[in-house]
Amino acid sequence: MSTLPSLARRVLAFSVFAVTAVHAAPAPSAPKLVLVLAVDGLPAEQLQRYRGQFGQGGLRRLMDDGAVFANAHQAHGVTVTAVGHAAILSGAYPYQHGIIGNNWIDPVSKTSVYCTDDAAHTYIGEETKPNDGTSPARLRVDTLGDQLRYASGNRAKVIAVSGKDRGAILLAGKTGTAYMYMDKTGNFASSTWYMAAHPQWVQQYQAARPQDRYYGKTWKPLLADAAYAGDAPDELFPATPASPNRFPFSFYSDSGNIDADYFNRLKTSPFLDELTLEFARAAVEGERLGGTSGVTDLLGVSLSAHDYVNHAYGPESKMSHDHLQHLDRMLADFFTYLDRKLGAGNVLVVLTADHGFPNTPEFVKAAKGDAGRVNAGALVAALNVALAAKYGHEKLAIAQSAPNFHLDYAAIDKLGVARGEVENTAAAFLRAQEGVAEVFTRSQFEANATGTTRMGVLMRRAWHRELSGDLVVVTRPNWYFSSGSSGTSHGSPYAYDTNVPLLLSGRKWIKPGYYGQYAETVDIAPTLANVLRLRPPAASEGRVLVEALQTP
């Protein structure tokens, strides 16, 4: 053992460290731009299934030259757009970030609220309706973009663009700027949370009206017929008066004019993503992203159309398959533009998704599987009948925003019945209903007694004490909440909904390779913070993906 006094040992250790630090290899220069791409509703398996059909410069570029985490997950139990987007750059789970769904029930008024609504703010130059998404006020945590702004003295620019308001707002964080597609006019617009009026570059972009050019155009398959041989047959998507539900798709309006009907139809097509990337390019130019020496900017782009296509037809469809091929080519063009604008190797790219997707029930049933739709409104009505028969009160379940169901605790207290007893009675009834796998109660969540199964852990992460329901219902695999009779949806803790792509690219900072390690989207924020030498967001619980980082 050394005889040096402890203080002297510390001084010597510091001196050795200082000498070592002087001779250490220099850290790689910071990227000029961090590009975070969120492909709404993209299951990880689609990237692997169609990999051989992608071109060289888009998704294949990220997969061949970047780090591919194939076992990456949106690791919470309510896998919907808002919750997933909130996780990506906050590194937080819903129980902290407070975005528990696209919509949820206000605990006081018992009325539905929207994840990004804010009556104090309006869209700039656009009609704003109640419950439109205009600010991140309901997001309870900061994001990587916020930390980037803080650390740079607000010199860093954080811009987010999306076909959906929640896709842009929740990537932009508190201090960035969000622009979203307006489905009444086809414009991209921001809100008064961010500014009083649009900058000149946005006004010029809107004046050119690029959204009008698709009127009367058709969406046709990009590849030869043989490429789609493994997709679901067209017969699974019967024609309706509103849509032929098969290629080619034409884009028009019933009025014969370029109007809101036409702009809304564009959302279920590659053209929405083409417009989103075109606006993102205008943002790079207009804001000079990546153009300030010594400052890293952040651009978030949420590409919404794949979600709309998958909702309508399922990820097994020719439409979903072909849409991803179109998106691949669009991304190749965008990456080429960034290389030319900022110099090859100066952009760090992350691509992920907010959630995956199950197949349509019709597709699963055709393969002799168990699948279906659960009508949440009918479920709560049946629950009230059952509770009334036992407790004599006609409406103890007072509201629902599936998977969250709310009980009238005041009425339960007046009945002189223990709340936990009513919760357990309700849970037992719901578990017995068709399509229901499990029900968790408020008492279980409060006691942290949801168990150690993956389902229990993911549902606990998704439950917020102040906002979530008193009963949380999990459907059986391949069942989902819907009052409709076609298409499919997401929102469960099952792998088809949680397993999403996680690709990182930029050879100065990222080691290319295929990584089988388990990863989560909450790992993105702390990993980027590590690369950028930033403090991670306050509520971040992810890990740094050190196995995929270049050694400085």
pLDDT tens, residue by residue, 510-543? 999 999 999 999 999 999 999 999 999 999 999 9
Residue 278 tokens read as 């075109």
Residue 4 pLDDT exceeds 80: no
Residue 264 pLDDT exceeds 90: yes
Phi/psi class of residue 467: alpha, beta or left (left: φ > 0; alpha: ψ in -120 to 50)?
A: alpha
Backbone torsions φ then ψ of 122, nearest 5 degrees:
-130, 160
Q: Distance of alpha carbon 35 from its chain centroid, rounded?
A: 15
Residue 551 pLDDT exceeds 90: no
Domains of the chain as residue ranges with CATH = 33-360+495-548 (3.40.720.10), 372-481 (3.30.1360.150)
- Please tell me what DSSP assigns to residue 402: T
Residue 388 pLDDT exceeds 80: yes
Residue 61 tokens read as 């570029």
So what's the pLDDT on residue 503?
98
So what's the pLDDT on residue 93?
98
pLDDT tens, residue by residue, 61-90? 999 999 999 999 999 999 999 999 999 999
Place of tokens 């004599």: 392
pLDDT tens, residue by residue, 24-45? 444 569 999 999 999 999 999 9
Place of tokens 């306050």: 538
Residue 404 pLDDT exceeds 90: yes
CA–CA separation, 373 vs 363, rounded Å? 13
Collapse the DSSP code of 191 into the 3-class scheme (helix H, G, I; strand E, B; otherwise coil) and give the result.
Answer: strand
Other residues' Cβ atoms within 10 Å of the Cβ of residue 10: 11
Residue 23 pLDDT exceeds 50: no
- Residue 239 or 55, more confident: 55
Selection from 42, 40, 44, 127 nearest residue 83 by Cα: 40
Beta strands 103-105 and 502-505: pairing type? Answer: unpaired
Residue 68 tokens read as 């591919």
Q: With beta carbons less than 8 A apart as the criterion, state whether 189 and 198 touch.
A: yes
Other residues' Cβ atoms within 10 Å of the Cβ of residue 114: 19
pLDDT tens, residue by residue, 169-203? 999 999 999 999 999 999 999 999 999 999 999 99
Indicate yes or no: pTM above 0.75.
yes
pLDDT class of 492 with cuts at 50, 70, 90: very high
State the number of CA atoms in the 13 A half-sphere of 286 facing the CB. 18
pLDDT class of 235 with cuts at 50, 70, 90: confident
Other residues' Cβ atoms within 10 Å of the Cβ of residue 150: 14
CA–CA separation, 166 vs 136, rounded Å? 9
- Average pLDDT estimate for 445-468: 98
CA dist 425 to 55, 107, 266, 430, 440, Å?
55, 22, 46, 9, 12
Averaged confidence pLDDT in the chain: 94
CA–CA separation, 250 vs 253, rounded Å? 10
Beta strands 158-162 and 297-303: pairing type? Answer: parallel
So what's the pLDDT on residue 243?
78
Selection from 446, 361, 442, 448 nearest residue 406 by Cα: 442
- Average pLDDT estimate for 110-120: 97
CA–CA separation, 151 vs 148, rounded Å? 5
Place of tokens 């852990």: 457
pLDDT tens, residue by residue, 136-171? 999 999 999 999 999 999 999 999 999 999 999 999
So what's the pLDDT on residue 242?
73
So what's the pLDDT on residue 9?
31
pLDDT class of 8 with cuts at 50, 70, 90: very low
So what's the pLDDT on residue 16?
34
Helix (H) or strand (E) holding 525: helix 524-532
State the number of CA atoms in the 13 A half-sphere of 82 facing the CB. 23
Amino acid in the structure at residue 156: A
State the number of CA atoms in the 13 A half-sphere of 269 facing the CB. 26
So what's the pLDDT on residue 28?
66
So what's the pLDDT on residue 27?
53
Per-residue b or e along 213-252, where b marks 16 or more CB atoms closer than 10 Å to that residue's CB: ebbeeebebbeeeebbeebbebebbeeeeeeebeeebebb
